[in-house]
Structure 1
């Protein structure tokens, strides 16, 4: 049991630092690769990889001819980057044997105010 807890902790730590080098700086793809091998991201999924040190990653992307490719690898060859602009489309850059995935955040929060009046405090969606 103790070894499973340690393995899980190590796995989480590996996932958290995947996109950074030893100095805490974010790794970026080569500029030539970013121009030549930038593809539209279709999906990105991290999967459990048993006793391996890194999770298994599956990436679906479209090339210039709109043909969809799927790439599966260990997470140590994949770097995640979170897009700051919510209107920017997700994409992937192939840099040799490394993949840089630029995706939207999983959760976003909207601070806009909501106006209105409460008319009924009854259950929503309940048919009587």
Structure 2
């Protein structure tokens, strides 16, 4: 009798485990991918601002010389602009990103996440490009 009860309990747990959730949905995976793209460059936000200040200081330093190299000054100002724009683009993306899925069908959510993947990927590329340009110019 005890053995039968034990087998019934074991069978119940096995059945409950087998009928449980089968893993994350496609939209959950897509959301995780969007966040992963964001998380890749988010830690570099402070670096963007630091490099922007350095580029502006370098432009100001070049402008204060007797013979001004206006091409070099414009390169540093353009770099500062690119760094600032990449910084602002990340903030804009984060501000408009919706974490909650309330009121959206699975199809609407998938479309939304696909769009967000495109947008955050563009921000990712912009940030990496600006950082690479800064590495080249500020060394």
**Structure having greater relative contact order (Cα 8 Å, sep ≥ 6):** 2
Larger radius of gyration: 2
TM-score, normalising length: structure 1: 0.29
Taking structure 2 as the reference length, the TM-score comes to 0.27
More helix by share: 2
